[in-house]
Structure 1
Amino acid sequence: MFEDPRRKKQLQKFIQKLGLSETESVNWSLLNLALTHPSISSTDNYEQLEFVGDSVIRLISAELLLEVYPQEPVGEFAAIRSILVSDRVLAELAESYGIEPYLLIGSNATGNPIGRQSWLADAFEAVLGALYLSTHNMDLIRPWLDSVLKTKAAEVRSDPARLNYKDALQEWTQKKYKILPKYRVRENKQFKSSAHPTNISIHEDRFLAEVWLKNRCLGKGYGRSKKASEQAAAKEAFIAVRDVGH
């Protein structure tokens, strides 16, 4: 039995945000563990549940793709699933369900914006692991997760870049000009770190990237990491060159 009534109320609110009205089957101790970062405890944290949740999201994605797109080849399933289970997408899902306020995490971890995507994705997988182990079936997961995965899968299928705009842009520039685009990344002057709470945050992203080709800037993008900012710049550039038919 979970003995912390205040924490249990927090966890119940989180479960409600997932769209679950039936909570009797939830193992609150497991869910609490799923929302405990290793910076809080080196032993009692979400890492083992994340391991289980990784298999859960892969299985659900595979089942859903087979149900929705039964005529697609296996290679297409694998390509789409690899994106659905990526840290980037899982972190987006974690944010969309507001997982962060319920996550117990040390200040030393929150002060690192580069690692944020990783621990959001990890915690989301751990939550899936906790909900699966509560019932040993998908009854607490698929009712709320299926719809968002279907939407994301449709988005991936309709996106010629498959959400990897750096690769897509590189393929376009090689085909068109036989050269690669170049990225210029610098610290975002508008960024104000959370380590300085007295400052007003102007921009949440630490890095600004520009992608250049033949002395022309094709796009700009912001990101919490250099890699993320390059991907954002590549997205702007790829959409621009595709839309104008270059």
Structure 2
Amino acid sequence: MAQLPPQRQKSLVRLMERLGLSDHSRIRWDLMDLALTHPSISPDQNYEQLEFIGDAVVRLAASEVLYELYPDEPVGEFAAIRSILVSDRTLAEFAESYNFQKYLLYHGHYEGAGLVSLLADAFEANLGALFLSTNDLSLVHPWLDAPLKIKAEEIKRDPARQNYKDALQVWTQSEHHVLPTYKVEKNPKSKSEEDFFCSEVWLRDILLGSGFGRSKKAAQQAAARQAYEKAVQTESPKKNA
């Protein structure tokens, strides 16, 4: 890491330690530095190519985890769960859990969907850098498998597959033959990026649910989730009767 400034070297080492990678001998620090450099810092030397590699890496890692967890599941089930595991929303959650934003070099202010995209892109770029350091997943599996497994099991238990807008739409069309409508606005009482937007979902003149999120889409999903879960709970006694 001789070519990197001392403070940057320390920063990258701290991130690797957060990932649980104590053996640094195989890590290519030049790639790790690039993986944490946003195009706003350097139009030519940034993480975009590594992000492209990392997109394939996370798909492979997720596929291996799913095969280990559910060896008898059909391919269609694998694909459905994997699509959520490798979504920007999930990758941004992983990035946040390891505080990737602290180590990322970028200009500007990001919030809502922009921040989700920023974190997901940087996360994929780091996977690309770790893969290219060894040309295998030996620097990826030790720390990424656990959160992938936890998230996969969470998704599998969720009948809505974490897409509550679609699930609610199916329910309202089936039960009431009408689509729900959403109202979204900035939350004047927001205290963090997590509740920057607030949303309500309505069925004609009936308020079904409300929720908050860092983006309009996330707020709508939160409102739809509340409405959908209420609908399922209301129907359950009828089904058990």
Q: TM-score, normalised by structure 1?
A: 0.91
Asked if 2 retains the 8 angstrom alpha-carbon contact of 1:190 and 1:203, the reply is no
User: What is the rounded CA distance, in whole Å, between the counterparts of 1:153 and 1:51 in structure 2?
Assistant: 23
Q: Which runs of 5+ in 1 are unaligned?
A: 192-201
Which shows bigger deviation, 58-67 or 81-90? 58-67
Counterpart of 1:196 in structure 2 is: none
CA distance in 2, matches of 1:35, 1:167: 35
Matches within 5 A, 1:84-123: 84-107=85-108, 110-123=109-122
For residues 84-129 of structure 1, what are the alpha-carbon distances to aligned partners after superposition, in whole Å with 9 as ceiling and x for unaligned? Answer: 110010001000111010000102xx24443110010000000000
Map of 2:186 onto structure 1? 187
Show the 5 A alignment for 1:1-246: 1-3=1-3, 4-107=5-108, 110-191=109-190, 202-204=191-193, 205-245=195-235
Q: Which amino acid aligns with 1:71?
A: D
Equivalent pairs, count: 234
Q: Is the 8 A contact 2:111 2:214 kept in 1?
A: no
The CA distance in 1 between the partners of 2:192 and 2:143, in whole Å, is 32
TM-score, reference length from structure 2 = 0.93
Q: How far is the alpha carbon of 1:2 from its aligned partner?
A: 4.0
CA distance in 1, matches of 2:2, 2:162: 41
Percent identity of equivalent pairs: 56
The answer to whether the 8 Å contact 1:35/1:123 transfers is: yes
Q: Distance in 1 between matches of 2:192 and 2:92?
A: 19
Instruction: Tell me, in whole angstroms, the C-alpha distance in 2 between the residues paired with 1:37 and 1:222.
Output: 28
Q: Secondary structure at the match of 1:244?
A: helix
* Residues 24 and 188 of structure 1, relative CA distance in 2, 3 Å threshold: same
Contact 1:2 1:29 in 2 (8 A): no
- Check conservation: 2:179, 2:203, Cα contact below 8 A: yes
How far residue 173 of structure 1 moved from its aligned partner, in angstroms, is 0.8
CA RMSD of aligned residues (A): 1.3
Determine the C-alpha separation between the residues in 2 that align with 1:221 and 1:123. Answer: 28
Read off the aligned partner of 2:131 and give its amino acid letter: Y
Aligned counterpart, 2:239: none
Structure 2 regions of 5+ residues with no counterpart?
A: 237-241
* 1:224 to partner: Cα distance: 2.2
What is the SS of the residue equivalent to 2:235? Answer: coil
CA contact (8 A) 2:38 2:46 kept: yes
Between 1:160-169 and 1:211-220, the stretch displaced more is: 211-220
* Structure with a larger share of its residues in helix: 2
